[in-house]
Chains A and B, each alone.
Chain A
Amino acid sequence: MSDSTYQPNAKKAEPLSSLERQYILLTQNGLPIIAKPYHWLSERLNISVEQVLNLTNSMQQRGIIRRIAAVPNHYKLGYHFNGMTVWDIEDSQAEKLGQIIGKLPFVSHCYLRPRKLPSWNYNLFAMVHGKSNQEITQYRSQIKTLLSEVLVNRKQQNAQPFKNCDMLTSTQILKKTGLRLKNKNVANDVTATTQEKNHV
């Protein structure tokens, strides 16, 4: 069977209303930096400011909006090194340790993903960021210490052992955009800011 169909065990995304789609289109590249940004939005959505604030609240409550926040460009701030650390850990411990690793101050994302044996045996992913290669290598060893008890020693079919951890550093950003929703109904289509082919 082809690898390219997957059945998610997660719940289905709830359909967005057309107002919500427009809201996302208008704000996915950020709010305008003006004294009353939600007024700006209310004019474009044709609803009152009150309604904009309520809609925002409701989308936040339903998890469609994670948060309203300042999103820094870490690269510009000197964080030129990121490492995707990957770990083959015991499934029964994954939940507990995922939470511990996710809380480390230098970890930006921590995910559990399926193994695809024999090509891919890692189930825990933690992204680390730093200003030098040395720094992220040190973060990797801190995570390794925390996971030392639960790393799996797995054998390949030819009896060679699988590695149970690795760190994939990035050599190039080839594309980076925010969430991109296209809406046929909205004329002033907002295109996401794209960083293409930045060396890192």
Chain B
Amino acid sequence: MQLSLLQQQLINDHQQGFPLCSAPFSELAQQYKVDECEVLAAINSLQTLDVLSRLGPVFDHKKAGASTLVAMAVAEDKLDHIADLVNQFEQVNHNYAREHDYNLWFVVTDKDMVALNKTLKAIEEKTALTLLILPMEASYHIDLSFKIDFNDNPQEQHQLKHKEALR
């Protein structure tokens, strides 16, 4: 995937912040010495390519409700089925299969603690499995931003390797 310099800058320079003013893209245009419409076109195409998931406010799950990380140890042949059951809960917003005895990892977010505990109970009942509940006690860096390295992108190669590994 070939991204323009402007697109690379837009991704790397704004993972931490984006102007809060009535015409933010015009401010970016001034910063990069291009037209506002070029900035809009660059960002639109990043979204079309799905390289940019979104641009906007990033909310703190904790402040907007209660959440916790949860793990489950699921028999390998039941993993898809259990994952489907878990995903049916709209309160589940991330769900990853991982290589470990605890092989299913997801985040549950609800409006408050009471609702969250109720949902956790419901997941336990639905799956008939015990949950390992690991709420956050402290966070040291939760910005999910790190500098993207655009120079070396051996995408296909790794995709292939990993697909083989999954067989």
Contact = CB atoms under 8 A, between A and B. Distances in A.
A108 B20 contact: no
B95 A174 contact: yes
A113 interface: yes
A132 interface: yes
Interface string B125-167: 0000011111111111111111111101111001101110010
- For A10, A49, A101, the residue with the greatest tally of chain B CB atoms inside 10 Å of its CB is A10
Contacts of B63: 13-14, 62-64
B57 to A, nearest CB: 5
B59 A35 contact: no
B82 to A, nearest CB: 10
Contacts of A105: 146-147
B98 A6 contact: no
A79 to B, nearest CB: 8
Contact of A68 (B18, B23, B162): B18
Contact of A3 (B21, B61, B132, B136): B132
A78 interface: yes
Interface in A30-51: 30-31, 33-39, 49
A38 B93 contact: no
Given A65-B58, A177-B93, A199-B166, A99 B144 contact: no
A5 interface: yes
A56 interface: yes
A110 interface: yes
Contacts of B166: 171, 199
A137 interface: no
A9 interface: yes
A63 B57 contact: no
Interface in B21-69: 21-26, 36, 40, 43-44, 47, 49-66, 68-69
- For B11, B23, B140, B143, the residue with the greatest tally of chain A CB atoms inside 10 Å of its CB is B140
A175 interface: yes
Interface stretch (A69-77, A141-149, A150-158): A69-77
A71 B55 contact: yes
Nearest to B98: A168
- For B43, B57, B124, the residue with the greatest tally of chain A CB atoms inside 10 Å of its CB is B57
A166 B63 CA distance: 30
B58 to A, nearest CB: 5
Contact of B60 (A63, A74, A98, A120): A63
B131 A3 contact: yes
B16 to A, nearest CB: 6
19 contacts: A10-B62, A27-B57, A65-B59, A69-B58, A72-B51, A73-B52, A74-B148, A80-B159, A81-B162, A107-B141, A108-B141, A108-B145, A109-B142, A114-B134, A179-B59, A179-B61, A180-B93, A181-B65, A182-B90
Given A10-B137, A14-B63, A111-B138, 11 more contacts: A13-B65, A13-B66, A35-B23, A69-B145, A71-B144, A77-B150, A102-B139, A108-B146, A132-B158, A174-B104, A178-B93
Interface pairs A-B: 5 shortest CB-CB: A30-B54, A102-B140, A102-B141, A175-B95, A172-B97
